[in-house]
Copies of this chain bind each other. A is one copy, B any other.
Amino acid sequence: MAAEPLTDLSRCAVHTMTTKPWSLEQALAGYAKAGIPAITVWRQHLPAAGAEAAGRLIRASGLKVSALARGGFFPALDAGKRQAAIDDNRKALDEAAAIGAPMVILVCGAVPGLPLAEARKQIADGIAAVVPHAQALGVRLSIEPLHPIYAGDRSAVNTMAQARAICRQFDQVIPGAIPGEKSSDRKLVGIAADVYHIWWDEALEDELALAGHHGWLHGFHVCDWKTTQSDMLNDRGLMGEGCIPIRTIRGWAESAGFNGFNEIEIFSTTRWTGDQDAWLKTCLDAYRAHV
């Protein structure tokens, strides 16, 4: 059963990559003006002045931070690169803490030529290596399963079930969680569920239920899947332009206990060329109509 329509923007967040041409300062101003309460900050949008400075800008704007995107990319063909990835993920956690992001979204990584099974092992090892730092900072690590289209070079974690298998290896609860408290996102290592990547999975309803039950359901991202895309990465659809039953899937997430932000994350070379205020308004109209 689909969820009830959303009557306001109180649970809406926007990724800075959705309005890629905007600086963080422009995005904060644009989102605030549009009545959007939260922002997911991509690291490339952190200002040259650094994450502490970004934190000050964000706090001054009044917006909440839904997440920092992105960490991950753990697998590599040599140990030096794997260590560099671990170090970079620790840095991402520091940045998340500095801007008040409750989680770092993980695009876990994959390397052509490295067997997927080995990549998955390196991903779990990489997460294990940064868990203590995440725990100390109180920042969640949120695995985003990526569509199998990206299994070659972006992520060897391509289904909710695979993300779940990794989450199960960790039992840390986020600092501050009340013992015995049942919330869908209480575990330190969990999942950012993006409809673009997982909509086709026949197990999706059950997987969301399990993720919520175990405290792994950290985030929920929306856009749409167009059956023809001019680019494998940067031609995502606006909600309603494609074939994803977004409202049905949101209903499943909410049945699983999810009550966080619905994050609008749309990579679109075409949309990035136009006026970003107008594009943002288009996104919000589609959010009300289709999410």
Contacts and interface: CB of A to CB of B under 8 A. Distances in A.
Contact of A242 (B152, B228, B229): B152
Which size bracket describes the interface of A in this complex?
Answer: 20 to 34
Contacts of A117: 202
A42 to B, nearest CB: 21
Interface stretch (A55-63, A84-92, A108-116, A183-191): A108-116
Q: Is the interface of A mostly helix, strand, loop or mixed?
A: loop
A126 B242 CA distance: 26
Nearest to A245: B115
A152 B243 CA distance: 6
Nearest to A154: B227
Contacts of A199: 151
Given A153-B227, A227-B153, A112 B243 contact: yes
A204 B167 CA distance: 22
A226 B162 CA distance: 23
A227 B116 contact: no
A200 B148 contact: yes
A268 interface: no
Contacts of A158: 200
A243 B113 contact: yes
A218 B151 CA distance: 26
A225 interface: yes
Nearest to A226: B152
Nearest to A201: B148
Interface string A187-219: 000000000000111100000000000000000
Contacts of A120: 202
A149 interface: yes
A202 B116 contact: yes
A54 B186 CA distance: 64
Given A117-B202, A147-B148, 12 more contacts: A112-B227, A116-B202, A147-B149, A148-B201, A149-B149, A151-B200, A152-B200, A152-B225, A152-B227, A152-B243, A229-B232, A232-B232
18 contacts: A112-B227, A112-B243, A113-B243, A116-B200, A117-B202, A120-B202, A147-B149, A148-B148, A148-B149, A148-B201, A149-B149, A152-B226, A152-B227, A152-B243, A153-B227, A158-B200, A228-B232, A229-B232
